[in-house]
Amino acid sequence: MNEEEAEAAGIHQQTGALLLNWYDSALYFLQRADFLRRWDVRTVQATAILGIVSINVGDSKMQSVLWACAIRIAQFLNMGNDSAHQNESLLLTETRRRLWWTLVICEWIPIPYLAPCISDADFRIELPATLDDEELLSEPRQDDLPRPIQYHIVMIQLAKIYHGFRVSLNLLSGKAADIVTLVLQTDEALADNIAGLPSHLRFDISSSSSVTESPDVDKPWIQWQRINISLILLYYRIAVNRVLQNQWVQDPTTFARTRAICLDSARGIISLASTCTDSLARHRPWATSLHLFSAAIILGVEARFHADESKQQYVRDMRFCVGFLNGVKDQSIIATHAVQILEEQFPDEQ
C-alpha cells in the first residue's frame, strides 16, 4: 500500500515496528507449530514466505537458515519428483510445482550469490502449467490472455541461465579467455530470454509507456510484473557482464561491448525506477534496492575512471538512486546500508 492507504488504515506511523512485530509473531507461531518435525507442504510455503520477508527486515542469518530448512523439508516430501506424486489432483500438482520452482528460483539467483543447496540432479519435475488459479479448479481456457504464472516461468528460465553461468564460472578457475567466452554466451542467452518474453511482459527501455501502460486495467498485476521482470533482467545482465569490469576499466576499447551492456543496463534500471517510482515505493521490494545500488556502483566507477561528457549524467543518476533509497529505507535495512556505502565510497558525487 502507499502512504495514503496506510494512513487510511491507521498504520501510517511506526510502519517499521509493525512489520517487525508481524515478522516476529510469524516466526514464533512457526516454532510453536514444531515445523522442523512436522513436515507439511504448508510448512514449506510459510517458511519460504518468511525467508523472503526476512531480507526486508535485515534478518539475513535467519533467512539463510530458514531457506535451507524449507529446501530440506521439500526434499524429504519429494516435492521435486513428479513420479512420486502420480495420483495427485491437478490443483495439488501445480501447487507443488510452483512452490518447488520458487525454492529453485530463490536458491539459484540470490543476491549476493551463494553456493546453492539444490543442484540440477536433485529433482525431476515439469515446469508449472500456464494456467490461472481459476483454471486449476475448472476447465482450462483456450486463449492466449496473460496469466500471472507466465512471470514465474520467465523467472525459472532466468534462474537456469544464471545458475549455469555461476557453475561454469567456478570451473574455469580464472582462465581469462574462457571467462570472456562464457560471459558473451550467457549474455546472449539472457538476450534471447528477453526476446522471448510474453507480449504483456515485454518492455522497451527507450519507451517508458511500454512499461507503465497495462494492456488490461482489470489486471493490475501485469504492470507490476512487467516493471519487476524488466528490473531483474537488466540487473542480471549487469551481474554477468561485470565479471569483466576490471578488464574494461583497464582496456575500455577491447571490452567495449560488456562495458556498454553494463552501462546501458544500469541506466535502464534507473530510468525504470524514475518512471515507476510510485509503484516501486508502494511494493518496497528489497531486490529493487539492490538493483539500484548495483546500478549506482557501476555508474560511480565509470564516472571515477572514465570521466567524459557523460560524467555529470552518471552523477545525476547516482543521486537519484540515493534519493530513492532514502525514501524506502524506513522499511528496508538493505536500502539503509546501500545509502551508507554509496555516500562513503563516492563522497564527491553526492
Q: pLDDT tens across 247-276, in order?
A: 887 887 888 899 999 999 999 999 998 887
Which of 24-38, 50-64, 94-108 is the least confident region?
50-64
Sign of the dihedral through C-alpha 87, 89, 94, 95: negative
Show contacts of 39-48: CB within 8 Å, 24+ apart. Answer: 39/73, 39/76, 39/77, 40/77, 41/77, 41/79, 41/95, 41/96, 41/99, 43/70, 43/73, 44/70, 44/73, 44/74, 44/77, 44/79, 44/99, 44/103, 45/99, 47/73, 48/99, 48/102, 48/103, 48/106
Q: Does residue 153 or residue 144 have the better pLDDT? A: 153
Please report the pLDDT score of residue 214 as a whole number: 47
Which of 14-23, 26-35, 117-126, 208-217 is the least confident region?
208-217
Mean pLDDT, rounded, for 296-300: 92
Mean pLDDT, rounded, for 173-189: 90
- What band does 282 get if pLDDT is binned at 50, 70 and 90? low
Percent of the chain past pLDDT 90, that is, above it, reads: 49
Mean pLDDT, rounded, for 321-344: 87
pLDDT greater than 80 at residue 196: yes
Task: For residue 104, give the C-alpha cell.
Answer: 529453485
Please report the pLDDT score of residue 210 as a whole number: 47
Which of 48-52, 163-167, 209-213, 224-228 is the least confident region?
209-213
Mean pLDDT, rounded, for 144-156: 93
Please report the pLDDT score of residue 209 as a whole number: 46
Mean pLDDT, rounded, for 223-249: 91
pLDDT greater than 70 at residue 285: no
Tens digits of per-residue pLDDT, 3-15? 666 667 666 666 6
Mean pLDDT, rounded, for 218-245: 90
